[in-house]
A and B are shown apart, each in its own frame.
Chain A
Amino acid sequence: MQDHSTQADVDDHVYLGLAEAAPGPEGEGRWAYGTGFADPLLGVDTALPPGVDGADLAACCLMLGDDALVLAQRLIEWCTRAPELEEEVALANLGLDLLGQARLLLTRAGQADGSGRTEDDLAYWREEHEFRNVRLVEVPNGDFAHSIARLLLFATARCALYEALSAHPDPVLAAVAARGVKELAYHREYATAWTLRLGDGTPYSSARMQAGLDAVWPLLDELFTAHPAELRAGVDPAVLREPVLRSLSAVLAEAGLTVPDVPPLASVLGRAGRDGVHTEALGPLLAELQVLARAHPGATW
């Protein structure tokens, strides 16, 4: 190979070109993770606006942030197990969206309650009973239809809630919600499309989809049950009940599925996820999520 050294130079050069990627939207830097992406909080004042109660705002952000974090953790469990490679990529996108929301919301919670706790302090160092997520997001994935059913319920309701919250007096929560609307609208479309395909696909898939819906439907009500802190912070998810149910019913009708006729899952002495009283599924999920961070207190990763 007489041109061997020339080729080596070309490859070294290419490697160098990759390693020293130019920044900016036109440069190679746009290929690297985290560049070229708009920060939803760019230019948003993080000071607590007058008239907003820090503790109540923090409680709301924890609820929404924990919902996003726990559901992201469940979606992550699909990684390497999706029914097709295209779905592998899609499910990871949903997980990344939710993880991004969780990080912003938990950070806001730590600012609003005055504790200065970071997203990781809140994600890794709280106990199970301090998590404020609804029980819908913590139950195990089940099969693909079960996961799609959960996603359909969550995305439909959360998209509607974020729409309302994008006008919240707290500019940070409003900005996170405004971006979240776009992301959740995509999640809703993804879940809707799969509900239709499975519901109106083969007899087997239709049965699986109905079984998934039947299993998660009792957990839907919690998304519309207002917590006192939410009401004080000007958030009332109860008003979403009618429009969300209408939207879900339309999807199920088109898919040839039945709206489950099942009562909501009971709470424990009137307390459920928003009060830190969870199903047995949350403990193992958090144990796994937190195990490494807790094995090295004070360490930076």
Chain B
Amino acid sequence: MTESKAGWPLYEVFVRPRRGLNHVHVGSLHASDDRMALLAARDLYTRRNEGVSLWVVRSDAITASTPDERDPFFEPSGDKVYRHPTFYDIPEDVPHI
């Protein structure tokens, strides 16, 4: 395998925009090791003070659902309307609920 093919592995970058919020996927980058990925993520994805915390993870470490699993994965919850608070009728005059 030539050098150009065997470049640095791909990492996915997650930024916590500020305290109280989840880390959000912002993009990816190439790095030869975890520490380089973290530093590069800082340099690339927080140039404008966009975050207070960073995660990087090698892309090949992520296991993802496939589009064809969409129905078996995500359809079953569609009928579980009882998980939603509006499923339940509560009289208007009951406070704080």
Instruction: Please determine whether B30 and A90 come into contact, CB atoms closer than 8 angstroms.
Output: no
Contact between A86 and B35, CB atoms less than 8 A apart: no
CB of A301 within 8 A of chain B? no
CA distance A93 to B47 in the complex (A): 8
B24 interfacial by beta-carbon distance below 8 Å:
no
State whether the Cβ of B49 lies closer than 8 Å to any Cβ in chain A.
Answer: yes
Contact A84–B44 (Cβ < 8 Å):
no
Question: Contacts A84-B30, A193-B36 given: A31-B43 contact, CB under 8 Å?
Answer: no
Q: Given contacts A90-B40, A93-B43, A193-B36, are A36 and B49 in contact (CB under 8 A)?
A: yes
Complex-state Cα separation, A95 to B50, whole angstroms: 20
A89 lies within 8 A of B43 (CB): yes
Interface assignment of B73: CB less than 8 Å from any CB of chain A: no
Instruction: Provide the residues of chain B in CB contact with A25, threshold 8 Å.
Output: 49
Given A189-B39, A190-B39, A193-B35, A86 contacting B49 (CB threshold 8 A): no
B29 interface contact, C-beta 8 A = yes
A30 within 8 A of B: yes
Q: Which residues of B contact A89 (CB under 8 A)?
A: 40, 43-44, 47
Distance, CA A33 to CA B39, complexed state (A): 21
Q: Which residue of B lies closest to A197 (CB)?
A: B32
Query: Per-position contact with A for B1-45: 1 when CB-CB < 8 Å, else 0?
Result: 000000010000000000000000000011111011001100110
| Interfacial chain A residues near B35, Cβ < 8 Å | 193
Contact A86 B30 (CB under 8 A): yes
Give Cα distance in the complex from A89 to B40, angstroms. Answer: 8
Q: Name the residue on A nearest B49 (C-beta).
A: A36
Give A36 to B30 CA distance when docked, in angstroms.
Answer: 28
Q: Judge if B48 is at the interface, Cβ distance under 8 Å.
A: yes
Residue of A nearest to B8 (CB): A84
Complex Cα distance, B31 from A31, in Å, reads 25
Report which residue of A84, A93, A189 has the largest number of chain B beta carbons within 10 angstroms of its beta carbon: A84
**Contact, CB under 8 Å: B48 / A86:** no
Cβ contacts A55-73/B at 8 Å (1 or 0 each): 0000000000000000000
CB distance from A28 to the nearest CB of B (A): 11
Contact indicator B48/A36 (Cβ below 8 Å): yes
Most buried by A among B8, B31, B48, B50: B48
- Compute how far the CA of A6 lies from the CA of B36 in the bound complex, rounded to whole angstroms: 45
Chain B contacts for A189, CB-based, 8 A:
39
Q: A30-B48, A31-B48, A89-B44 are in contact. Are A193 and B39 (CB under 8 A)?
A: yes
The complex places the Cα of A86 from the Cα of B27 at a distance, in Å, of: 13
A248 vs B25: C-alpha distance in the bound complex, in angstroms? 37
The CA-CA distance from A269 to B49 in the complex, in Å, is 48
Give min CB distance, B18 to chain A, whole Å. Answer: 8
A30 to B35, CA, bound (A): 27
Q: Which residues of B contact A197 (CB under 8 A)?
A: 32-33, 36
Residue ID in chain A nearest B40 by CB atoms: A86
Chain B residue nearest to A31 in the complex (CB)? B48
Q: Which residues of B contact A30 (CB under 8 A)?
A: 48-50
A96: nearest chain-B partner, CB-CB:
B47
Q: Is the CB of B43 within 8 A of A90?
A: yes
B residues whose Cβ falls under 8 Å from a Cβ of A: 8, 29-33, 35-36, 39-40, 43-44, 47-50
Instruction: Give me 11 A-to-B residue pairs in the complex whose CB atoms sit less than 8 angstroms apart, sorted by A's number.
Output: A25-B49, A30-B50, A36-B49, A37-B49, A84-B30, A89-B43, A89-B44, A189-B39, A193-B36, A193-B39, A197-B32
A contacts, CB < 8 Å to B: 25, 30-31, 36-37, 84, 86, 89-90, 93, 189-190, 193, 197
Shortest Cβ-Cβ A-B pairs, 3 listed = A86-B40, A90-B43, A89-B43
Known: A90-B40, A93-B43, A197-B33. 8 other contacts (CB 8 A): A25-B49, A31-B48, A36-B48, A86-B31, A89-B44, A189-B39, A193-B35, A197-B32
